Structures are given as C-alpha cells and as structure tokens.
C-alpha cells in the first residue's frame, strides 16, 4: 500500500492505494522493495519475488 502523508511525515492524506500484489507463482515473499521517484515525477517500484 502507498499513501500520501502531510508535511509532518505522519498525517495521512487521502486513501491508500495498493501498488503491489503477488500470485502463488511468485512464492510467499516480496524481497527488497525499493521505490524511486524519477525527475518527471513518475514513481518506479523495483522488487524481487
């Protein structure tokens, strides 16, 4: 889940959004998730399963 927070880094703004799901073929783990913001404002999620 991903959720915007306020300037204090704690106050939640809006609703959370599911950004990752796995299937049985992926196995039980999602390892080393890393989210990166590109210069154009796009977010990219990297992970291993």
**What percent of the chain stands above pLDDT 90?**
59
Number of domains in the chain: 1
How many angstroms separate the CA atoms of 8 and 49, rounded? 33
Inter-residue contact 28 to 48 (CB < 8 Å): no
Residue 46 belongs to domain spanning:
24-49
CA atoms of 43 and 36, how far apart (whole Å):
6
In DSSP terms, 17 is beta-bridged to 2
Q: What is the pTM assigned to this prediction?
A: 0.58
pLDDT score recorded for residue 25:
82
| 1 within a domain of the structure (yes/no) | no
Q: pLDDT at residue 6 above 90? A: yes
Residue 41 lies in a domain: yes
């Amino acid at each position: 889940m991903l959720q915007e927070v306020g300037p204090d880094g704690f106050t939640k703004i809006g609703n959370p959004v599911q950004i990752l799901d796995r299937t049985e073929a992926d196995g039980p783990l999602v390892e080393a998730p890393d989210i990166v913001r590109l210069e154009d404002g796009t977010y990219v999620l990297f992970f291993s399963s």
